[in-house]
Amino acid sequence: MDALEPRPARSAHRPLSRRSLLAGGLGAGTVAAAGLAAPSAAFASSDDASANGLRTDPFTLGVASGDPWPDGFVLWTRLALDPLAEDGLGGMPPRPVEVQWEVAEDAAMRAVVARGTAVALIEDAHSVHVELMGLRAGREYFYRFRAGRHLSAVGRTLTAPAPHEMPAALTMSFASCAQYEHGYFTAYRRMAEDQPDLILHLGDYAYEYRKNVYTLPGGNIRHHDGPETVTLAGYRQRHAQYKSDADLQAAHAMAPWAVVWDDHEVDNNWAAGIPENSDPGQMNDTAARFLERRAAAFKAYYENMPLRASAAAVGSDMQIYRRLAWGRLANFHMLDTRQYRDDQLAGDGWRENVSERFAESRTITGAAQERWLLDGFRASEARWDVLGQQVFFSERDRDRPLEVDDVSMDGWDGYAASRRRITQGWIDAGVRNAVVLTGDVHRHWASDIRVDFKDTDAPVVGSELVCSSVTSNGDGSGSTTSSMMEWNPHLKYYSDRRGYVRTRITASSMSADFRVLDRVSTPGAAATTQASFEIADGTPGLVPTA
């Protein structure tokens, strides 16, 4: 592997000169970067299209990178000539296809530092996962793929800083809940235009429903193709439909992603081996069928995400909880609150006075993941410990009378002892700054975290930032008030608009901008910052700044 002398890393807030990375033509298979008129010498000498039998563009699903580490990252693409083919195989020939890749220090792909060849296999839906090593820490890189004469778009990515380094800043954005039928993915493009160093996706990347099952009051904006996803072919087809979206491709191509699922990547409100709808009289049969469905969903999820090979599904099991370090600045503890949880109590919705939710035996993480997380807190030397996870962490009691306890059974409120153990765990470990990132609820929220939310005099020990959806629930009402904030004083902000959260993390503070779009029912809406908060180093709690 060749390695050229690196240039200093570009500041996250210094505009790139390669604005064409975000041009409207960044859609599938186009060569988007300036100066990319001719392929590199290595690419030019490769076999022509007839050798691979790919006479049309196979890069219809874009490119992506993910899970950066100090000397590398995962590069991803998936070949598909016909993304919505019913068999889920993208219209590809039933044989292996060689895919070349290269990594450079410039968007024009002239200063190439690494290149190689991967094989896209039909049994993996012709997906490609390349795990790079040997690159410089804390650097910006660019990459692309070639199959036959076809070139992919150019993607931008970064390596993480070296373990001993304290970087000046990290810009990180996070999002969740992109229901294709509920609107346009403009939030992804606006996120890409911010040019973050890292993007977290906290679940509900794709939805399982068939056309017009999960509908907006005025009707859906776009439509799912195919039936509800139950089979491997169905999940592959649905991922391909989502990945065909140019705005989503723009966000994937701009920065490395770290992803975790929630429920809709498999089945609404699933818990461990239990589906949303089960017949108690046929539980064993239903559970067996659900594990088959879960295995199909997990395999398709891995095939379509920039994950390391260590995360590949093994039957109906797939470990996605993991830790990513950004030098000494931040640890990202990426959690899985679906696969190992106890079943939701009293059904999956909001329920009053369910005392069983306080049972010590109940867990939302499972015992092994909880130990892993607490061990991570004890070993951490990072300035910021950030939990990337799926469901609402802080208490949200929606009834005013104190004698009535009305909370969601699907979030951490339904697993109160599990939440207390995690919160007490970071306190006991001396975690310097704990921040929980959340998706799922289709609204922006911000909250202080206390060990005891009922005690308003209890100290604040952390902060929670909750991103709204990319599209789910449509345009939204625009409301910025919630009655729950009156009797849940730890809740500091609410907004019923679609969008994402943009953060800037430094040694001295973490700032969060809640970005909103006034509509997703038509494409091209602008993104604005509706509210901003800051968390100071060593001082838990949210301080509004805008």
Q: Is beta strand 140-147 parallel, antiparallel or unpaired with respect to 150-151?
A: antiparallel
Residue indicated by tokens 């730890």? 490
Residue 464: closest CA among 508, 507, 510, 527: 510
pTM for this prediction: 0.92
Crossing angle of the two packed helices 283-303 and 232-243, in degrees rounded to 10: 40
- Indicate the residue type of 506: T
Condensed to tens digits (0 to 9), the pLDDT of residues 177-198 reads 999 999 999 999 999 999 999 9
3-state secondary structure 363-421: CCCCHHHHHHHHHHHHHCCCCEEEEECCCCCCCCCCCCCCCCCEEECCCHHHHHHHHHH
Strand (E) or helix (H) holding 502: strand 498-505
Query: What's the mean pLDDT in 491-505?
Result: 98
Same fold, 1-158 and 172-544: no
Q: Give the pairing type, strands 257-259 and 330-334.
A: unpaired
Nearest to 302 by CA among 315, 311, 293: 311
Q: Are 117 and 47 in contact (CB under 8 A)?
A: no
- What residues contact 408, with CB distance under 8 A and at least 6 apart? 349, 350, 392, 396, 414
Using 50, 70 and 90 to split pLDDT, how confident is the model at 164? very high
pLDDT in tens, 269-318: 999 999 998 655 555 668 889 999 999 999 999 999 999 999 999 999 99
Closest Cα to residue 514, out of 534, 528, 535, 496? 528
In CATH, which of 2.40.50.140, 2.60.40.380, 2.60.120.40, 3.40.50.2300 is domain 1-158? 2.60.40.380
- Summarised one tens digit per residue, pLDDT across range 416-459 is 999 999 999 999 999 999 999 999 999 999 999 999 998 989 99
Q: Which residue has the tokens 């959340």?
A: 438
Domain regions of the chain by residue span: 1-158, 172-544
Summarize pLDDT for 46-72 with one digit per residue, the tens. Answer: 445 444 679 899 999 999 999 999 999
Number of helices and strands in the chain (H, E):
9, 24
Which residues are paired to 459 by β-bridges? none
Domain 172-544 has CATH 2.170.150.20: no
Q: How many Å apart are CA 419 and CA 461, to the nearest integer? A: 13
| Stretch 305-332: mean pLDDT | 98
Query: Could you give phi then psi for residue 512, rounded to 5 degrees?
Result: -135, 125
User: Residue 99 pLDDT more than 50?
Assistant: yes
Q: How confident is the model at residue 23 (pLDDT cuts 50, 70, 90)?
A: very low
Q: Is the pLDDT of residue 255 over 70?
A: yes
**Could you give the CA distance from residue 306 to residue 248 in angstroms, rounded to a whole number?**
14
Tokens of 174: 């996070």
